[in-house]
Chain A
Amino acid sequence: MERLGVELHHISKSFEKDGSPVQVLDNLDVRNEAGEFVSFLGPSGCGKTTTLKIIGGLLEPDGGEVIIGNKRVTGPGPDRSIVFQDYALLPWVDVLRNVAFGLELRGVPKGEREEIARTYIQKVKLSGFEHHYPNELSGGMQQRVGLARALAVNPQILLMDEPFASVDEQTRRLFQSDLSDLWQEEQKTVIFITHSMEEAVYLSDRIFVMSARPGRIVEEFVVHLPRPRTAQDIRGSKEFTESVEHLWGVLRELQ
């Protein structure tokens, strides 16, 4: 599969609030190399989701452009898929159909897409829940459905908006190492949003720390930990804890 990088050039974005514009993103310049795992870290409301939706082609920036491969982004495309922060599951269809929904929209025949969906349902540890409806699942389980749906279309670029925020700590760690392995195998380009410094350090090649109002990059941090990182002791290493401490220092300054 061809690997694609993502470049943000001078992205700015405002939203209308009570009749006056509020600047959410100010001149964001970010480059994500093909096959690189990049994380965004920053306080609530600093514009992380907005940035991700601009990359996903769901929102249009007021200024600047997003380049993927050599093409300017003008809308959503089959090269990208999004794990939504609010899960965005269809309440009226079961887990199987939710997971297969991206494939359904892309015209994959029913038998084939359900087979693929079952594989990913297994990967996110929801086997046995294929015919449950979203309102019968916990928040963490719903989040995993959203994750499986994004993975099932097998994109070159994965855009993940706090994908593990609602899952319990054990599952979260399992998923972190699964994602790390998946990335290692397939070398997908990943843009990952999180509030967890440990998670960012564990998964990323590079971490962008954002400030709020207006959102801009205040720090670009390169993680030097060796790969693969699924070995047990990486979280205990000096490098790991120092990286987390450093990020905490940066974030504390922003308060």
Chain B
Amino acid sequence: MIGSKVRSRSRRQFSFVPLIPGMIAWELIGRLHVSFFIPPLSEVVLVWFEILHAGKLWDALVISFETFVVGFSLALVLGLILGVMMGRYRGVEHFFDLYINTFMSAPVSALVPVLMVLFGLGIGTIVATVFMFSFFVIVVDTTTGIKSINPSLIQMARSFGGSEFQILPKVILPGALPEILTGVRLGAIRGIKGMVIGQLLIALTGLGERLVYYGNSFLIPQLYAIILTVIVFSILLIELFNFLERSLIHWKR
């Protein structure tokens, strides 16, 4: 069971310890002036505070976060609805299966130019990119979760007079919750990728614009500061979902 392996691997408590040797190595290599392109970690951190102070980073963060939240929320709501429908109704599944699987495996980045044509060179395209990156995995995992519920539980609920409207929140959704949360977490991680890629390609707003700008200006410590920001943002998000998983599915050990 690949799914459960992924889950248990990510559910362990986050620890900074393995990061420490890497950080020390980075600092040392930076101080030895091995390459112009590897500044010491301490310098990157200092620069990070500098650009945060100058307001540039903060603005970029806020706009990135907004586009991520909007795109991801849309993907979450629509992904859950479609996933539940596909898990419950064979007809719906047959209809959408091919589309969903195609987009699941397709290189979504290649679609960004198409999205630009559709949504223009602004926020809209980035929201759409986030959506395209996270939507499909949420649908697939929700469908899987719903289909993996023990049919006996649904029969049991029906035998006590449960209607579809009662069975959905009381049996189907809680039963599918572990898979749904896995999908949501993977969707969020992909959504961050989508956010960065979209902003890189458009290079007009957010962290992506900063990346392109600092990269082109050879402001290497600043470039790393932005990259670190994205990484920290992802780690925080993943930890949030791990926390949710741990507290919501305590019954599955």
Chain A residues with a Cβ under 8 A of chain B: 53, 56-58, 75-78, 80-82, 84, 86, 88, 90-93, 101-102, 104-106, 133, 135, 153
Contact = CB atoms under 8 A, between A and B. Distances in A.
B251 interface: yes
**Secondary structure type dominating chain B contacts:** helix
A76 B174 contact: no
Interface size class of B (residues with CB under 8 A): 20 to 34
A80 B156 CA distance: 12
B153 interface: yes
**Secondary structure type dominating chain A contacts:** loop
9 contacts: A76-B160, A80-B159, A84-B155, A88-B152, A90-B175, A92-B175, A92-B177, A101-B157, A106-B160
A58 B175 contact: no
A14 B153 CA distance: 22
Interface string B94-111: 000000000000000000
A91 B160 contact: no
Nearest to B253: A135
A57 B160 CA distance: 11
Nearest to B152: A88
Given A84-B156, A86-B152, A91 B252 contact: yes
B170 interface: yes
B155 A88 contact: yes
Interface centre among B150, B159, B161, B162 (most CB of A within 10 A): B159
Contact of A133 (B153, B162, B174, B251): B251
Given A56-B159, A76-B158, A153-B160, A105 B153 contact: no
Given A53-B155, A84-B152, A135-B253, A90 B160 contact: no
B162 to A, nearest CB: 4
Contacts of B251: 91-93, 133, 135
Interface string B144-187: 00000010110111111110001000110011010000000000
B232 interface: no
Contacts, number: 59
Contacts of B170: 101, 104-105
A92 B249 contact: yes
A94 to B, nearest CB: 9
A56 B155 CA distance: 10
Closest 5 CB pairs of A and B: A88-B156, A102-B160, A105-B162, A92-B251, A88-B152
A41 B160 CA distance: 25
B159 A76 contact: yes
Contacts of A92: 174-175, 177, 249, 251-252
A90 B161 contact: no
A86 B151 CA distance: 11
Contacts of A104: 170
A81 B158 CA distance: 10
